[in-house]
Structure 1
């Protein structure tokens, strides 16, 4: 509720404060208490819903990249990956005026990331993409104008190193497209290692507890093409075994999707959920994450590292957990009659090009399909 006080001249001052909604208090003066109470009731009702009327919104000018990013992070909820990229962008270029964001500046920035920072092409694309999404939002909000949008009109291959880039940087960074898939017998070897229940380490064995969680995560990855984070953050409410689906509310690219479950995926999930028993509403079904978004990266790194050890000790050299997404995507092509569009709906890829990066079809299998 607004605070109020009467001045000696008979007018009334009202003070409105709302943490998380108003950056600073709103002070309004009315001739009569009745008039003030009526207005205060309407404004309090809006503020309680997180709505700030246009006439009371801060009209601060956004002049630099850092200021634009700050507004974007406050209002648009960018992904954790984009937030991480913004940190390094602001450190070096936060004070660059928005009026300088033209093709020449973007080209110079990309050259700097190659020749001075020696970043991998994928990292360069991630940073450019993050800033592009931020400026998209800024233009919709009228905070800047970019008629030719130089972050969106870059040529194909802009992140690749030229001969001049490599000569000056002293290194040639290249995209490394993974094509590792499960070889014959490796699926069973991994399950056997998980069933063993521990990892051999120098000090003492590391227990894989509970074994059923590691087994379920591995099988789901191979059967569904879900990403590691999409799986270890699953709650019971997202799993609908009756409808044979898992609903992902927020994914890496920010979109929602429903993932169909094969009979194998349903079986392993049913067994695991039965083993777990009752869960608190909204609680993750897997034991590694406590629901704190600030720990997502740490949990991802921990599980990736543990599975790398599992694969190594299961005699699956060079296999990484993310390779299982390639394996699952390739299996959709090899074992089903689904169209490319249908497979993209399952995997969540936004373009045909990205889908093809994950479809590592074996030449021997393709040869068998020939005359």
Structure 2
């Protein structure tokens, strides 16, 4: 008897108790519900169910997860915290005020809405459920990189709970195979004559942005946020205090890039205390301008972000920088990601092999 309730002892596995044999206890409470407890290594895992069968099933699952090293403990705070509550708290502590805050928040909320995971306690979300989600999304035609970003966002919530809130739980996303990105990267570069047609079709406001993009390899958001306070015309640099990967970087500017700045209406050589946005445009406006300009120029399947691919590839083709220097310019954190943005022109490589300019 335990607290006046029927107690059933389940021995799951053989071995010396001193060596950590698992022992599950199932007992019925006064209210008719069944509580299952699994104790291992001084830690107690406990949950309550409406039937004994459900309690036994949960206990076997916990024992199996412990055996496979999937969980080290499910503390009380974690079991009381729903996934949706963790996401909300994570957004308030980690995301708000950072770049892409709204996009990351929308991604997490959409994920919970689509899966129903928000109602689960944090330890209840298992790798199997996440694996099923990735397979279903991929089969439905969702891009692999989109699925990977979903998992990365959810994984960040769990890791934050572990490292910042001290919750002793497993991060289920780390035990799920991510969809492969092989063959999914874009390799769109400007074809002969397309650049000239784009520049001719672009508006007076958009033309310098196009030139700036291929000279600096900056992301759309970085261009939109650039302010004169962070441009050093004397040193020939543009500082980006906030970037997509969370790290600041300083971009060296070519002669052509400096000429773009000097040609802007907001630039005055006499003004040494320039301030405000350099281009005065939002990221969404850049996307719309690009769509209008490509149609007018007759350039098909060309996105604004493709200009970053173009610029990165041009840096390699110049032959002036090594890989690490180019990564420093473009802001790519890994060489594998940098390689996805680099699409060298075979004709250019052939000329280099022949020693031609």
Describe the SS at the equivalent of 1:181.
Answer: coil
**Match for residue 159 of structure 1?**
179
Q: CA RMSD in A?
A: 2.8
Residues 122 and 175 in structure 1, CA contact (< 8 A), matched pair in contact too: no
Residues 312 and 318 in structure 1, CA contact (< 8 A), matched pair in contact too: no
Residues 82 and 127 in structure 1, CA contact (< 8 A), matched pair in contact too: no
**Match for residue 254 of structure 1?**
246
Q: Render the CA deviation track for 1:150-176: whole Å, top value 9, x for unaligned.
A: 423444xx3259xxxxxxxxxxxx964
**Match for residue 75 of structure 1?**
93
State how far apart, in whole Å, the 2-side matches of 1:110 and 1:317 are: 31
**Match for residue 124 of structure 1?**
147
**Match for residue 348 of structure 1?**
331
Residues 78 and 169 in structure 2, CA contact (< 8 A), matched pair in contact too: no
Distance 1:94 1:77, change over 3 A: same
> TM-score scaled by structure 1?
0.66
Tell me how far 1:218 sits from its aligned partner: 0.7
Alignment match of 1:284 (pick from 274, 277, 297) = 277
**Match for residue 221 of structure 1?**
213
Distance 1:76 1:264, change over 3 A: same
Find runs of 4+ consecutive structure 1 residues off by over 6 angstroms.
275-281
State how far apart, in whole Å, the 2-side matches of 1:245 and 1:159 are: 38
Larger Rg: 2
Describe the SS at the equivalent of 2:263.
Answer: helix
Alignment match of 1:239 (pick from 231, 237, 247) = 231
1:108 pairs with 2:136: no
Distance 1:65 1:182, change over 3 A: same
Distance 1:279 1:323, change over 3 A: farther
Tell me how far 1:118 sits from its aligned partner: 4.5
What count of residue pairs does the alignment treat as equivalent?
Answer: 271
1:189 pairs with 2:197: yes
Tell me how far 1:356 sits from its aligned partner: 0.7
**Match for residue 302 of structure 2?**
319
Tell me how far 1:279 sits from its aligned partner: 11
| Contiguous gaps of at least 5 residues in structure 2 | 1-76
> TM-score scaled by structure 2?
0.68
Residues 117 and 125 in structure 2, CA contact (< 8 A), matched pair in contact too: no
State how far apart, in whole Å, the 2-side matches of 1:285 and 1:321 are: 18
